[in-house]
């Protein structure tokens, strides 16, 4: 079985501050990990993904995430927050094996607020 836990349903930062959104996963098989962003009244957009290879993954809009197998984590970071980063962020996990094939399991989301 696979699952995702996002610590903190709400995160607030000042513009220019570091953004850190936490994601821990549970998976019995090698996972593929994703971060999606949802702006108000819109669908989800892929920020970045980890499948295999380099554990530090760079995405769009200056975001990056690091896959740490020993910690079962895939935290999302951005060095300097911008007002336009305010949105809901979802971490998700899937696998290309067994019963989880094709199923994307989402965390409950983290609402990021950016203060001027």
**Which residue, 18 or 46, has its beta carbon nearer to another protein?**
46
Q: Is residue 88 a contact residue for another protein (CB under 8 A)?
A: yes
Query: What is the sign, positive or negative, of the torsion defined by CA atoms of 3, 56, 90, 103?
Result: negative
Binding of residue 32 to another protein (CB under 8 A): yes
Among 85, 94, 112, 114, which residue interacts with another protein (rule: CB under 8 A)? Answer: 94
Name, in order, each residue with C-beta under 8 angstroms of 91's C-beta and a sequence gap of 6 or more: 4, 6, 21, 23, 25, 33, 34, 35, 74, 76, 106, 107
Q: Which of 10, 40, 43, 53 binds another protein (CB under 8 A)?
A: 43
Q: What are phi and psi of 79, to 5 degrees?
A: -60, -35
**Binding stretches for another protein (CB under 8 A):** 32, 34, 36, 38, 41-46, 49, 51, 88, 90, 94, 96, 101-104, 106, 108-109
């Amino acid at each position: 079985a696979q699952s995702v836990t996002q610590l903190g349903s709400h995160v607030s930062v000042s513009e220019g501050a570091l953004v850190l959104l936490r994601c821990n996963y549970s998976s019995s098989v090698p996972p593929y990990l994703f971060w999606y962003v949802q702006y108000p009244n819109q669908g989800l957009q892929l920020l970045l993904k980890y499948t295999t290879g380099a554990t530090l993954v760079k995405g769009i809009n200056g975001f990056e995430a690091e896959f740490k197998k020993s910690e079962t984590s895939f935290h999302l970071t951005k060095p300097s927050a911008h007002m336009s980063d305010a949105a809901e962020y979802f971490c998700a996990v899937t696998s290309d094996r067994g019963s989880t094939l094709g199923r994307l399991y989402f965390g409950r989301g983290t609402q990021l607020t950016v203060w001027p």
